[in-house]
Amino acid sequence: CKEWIEPLQQRCNRRCSGGETQCAFHLQPATEQFICKFCSALIVGEKAHTRHTEFKCETRKRQLALQAQPYWREDVNLHDNEAPGNTTEAPTPEPATRVDLWSHNIADFLLDYLSQNSEPLSLDIAVSPLRSQCTAEGGPGPSWPSGVPFSKHHLPQQDSLIGHTLTALGRVQTGNVQSCVFELGAGKARLSHLLHHALSLQSDTESNLSVEKYFVVDHGSFRHCSKPGAKSQGDTRIELFERFAMDLKDFYAGEVPFLKQHAHVIPLCLAKHPCGAATDMAIRCMKDLKQKTVIGIIAPCCHHRCSWETYCGKEWLINHGVNKVDFNVLARLCSWGTTLPNSNDESLTDSTSTLKELATALGTYKSDIQTPDNARQLEPRQKQLIGRLCKRVLNGGRAWYMKQCGFAVSTCQFVSCGLTPENNLMVATRAQDASASSVA
């Protein structure tokens, strides 16, 4: 059947009977055709549709069971009601019209930001015990965890992120205090699996770091997910991993039963490349944790997909004279840092020389605003540097927001730009003895 189904935006794939051009569903009158809003099933007849929705739809049953949980709160991580200029409405899609990327306000704002933040982000490549699991040729060793595929491209990123995680845990975890990990936007949870493996390798050394539980949050449920298994505690076996198949915008981490039963546990929020607004949702999720000590390890991604409604550093931008229109330009400019050719050029990694190039690039950008498209002099490398600066600006607003919530925040590059252009990392710690740190 080739009938077009408008709500699903696709053609019907049901088989037709011999000689028919439509399936049994589309042969019925339009008044008898129904589509389940929960599972998108095609149903003939109003009574059958009502019976399916109320009693048979497994997707609706799972949604109702999830909404009955204490950690489900609709749109809790979408926005802050106390933020100026905020709206309680859900984020609306941007219009399809082209956004003009040449703005005097953005040029002046970026030049002012660069003058106040003239130091490059440090390149801090941490090392974890995962390195010892590789052969001399760079392949997986015999003790590499079987549930995690090996990737030479992702290994340096995973290794550095886990190294920063272990360092942050080592600063706050003392004595017999346990930790738990929330991997937000986890996908198949391979990063948590590798962290668990790295901690098991440290158990034979003088380190006493340990994680009691891993909570994996992602709106999808995936096949072949990483799951190390369970641990023994007396005569019982306790599952190490618990998956919450729900949207991050509805996840209220402060009401997870495990945290209420273990009041002194240290929660650690881990997020590798959550896209766009998911980074802001992860930060708000971390803010809502009620424990005195909280750690956040967040490597943001896809800044061009951020929205004004969900961005958590909105107040910081407003204080610097940036409105919604300017924000849309700023977000679009971020794509210059990742989508242009040679975005993985090693020389684009932040350094003193690239900041000097950046100052020249911003001057060219400002002079090109009144120039026709075919006469602009801004080169691709200069666009890449400006795009990377815009990413740093948006991360700076997020870091400001976390500082307002009581976190000490540091930002760095956890790998070189040659591996991934999304190489910025924010490490946040909220503790009684945490001292505020400067935000780049």
Model pLDDT for residues 72-83, shown as the tens digit of each residue: 999 999 988 654
Q: Cβ(39)–Cβ(18) under 8 Å?
A: no
In 126-196 the beta strands, taken as DSSP E runs, fall at 179-184
Q: Please name the residue ranges forming H helices in 307-351.
A: 314-319, 324-334
**Residue-wise pLDDT tens digits, 226-247:** 666 655 555 555 688 899 989 9
The confidence score (pLDDT) of residue 231 equals: 59
- Percentage, residues of the chain above pLDDT 90: 44
CA dist 434 and 440 (Å) reads 18
104-116 and 324-334 helices, crossing angle to 10°? 70
The confidence score (pLDDT) of residue 256 equals: 93
Location of structure tokens 């802001």: 280
- 321: exposed, middle or buried (C-beta count within 10 Å: 0-12, 13-18, 19+)? exposed
The backbone torsions φ and ψ at residue 11, rounded to the nearest 5 degrees and listed phi first, read: -85, 150
Structure tokens at 420: 């991934």
Q: Which of 273, 338, 286 is nearest to 312 (CA)?
A: 286
Q: How confident is the model at residue 322 (pLDDT cuts 50, 70, 90)?
A: very high
Mean pLDDT across 378-395: 93
The backbone torsions φ and ψ at residue 109, rounded to the nearest 5 degrees and listed phi first, read: -65, -45
230 bridge partner residues:
239
φ/ψ bin of 14: left (φ > 0), alpha (ψ from -120 to 50), beta (otherwise): beta
Q: How confident is the model at residue 439 (pLDDT cuts 50, 70, 90)?
A: very low
**Residue-wise pLDDT tens digits, 212-225:** 899 999 987 666 56
What is the number of other CB atoms lying within 10 angstroms of the CB of residue 286?
Answer: 26
Mean pLDDT across 16-28: 77
Mean pLDDT across 275-290: 94
Structure tokens at 416: 């070189």
The backbone torsions φ and ψ at residue 36, rounded to the nearest 5 degrees and listed phi first, read: -65, 125
- Average pLDDT of the chain to the nearest whole number: 84
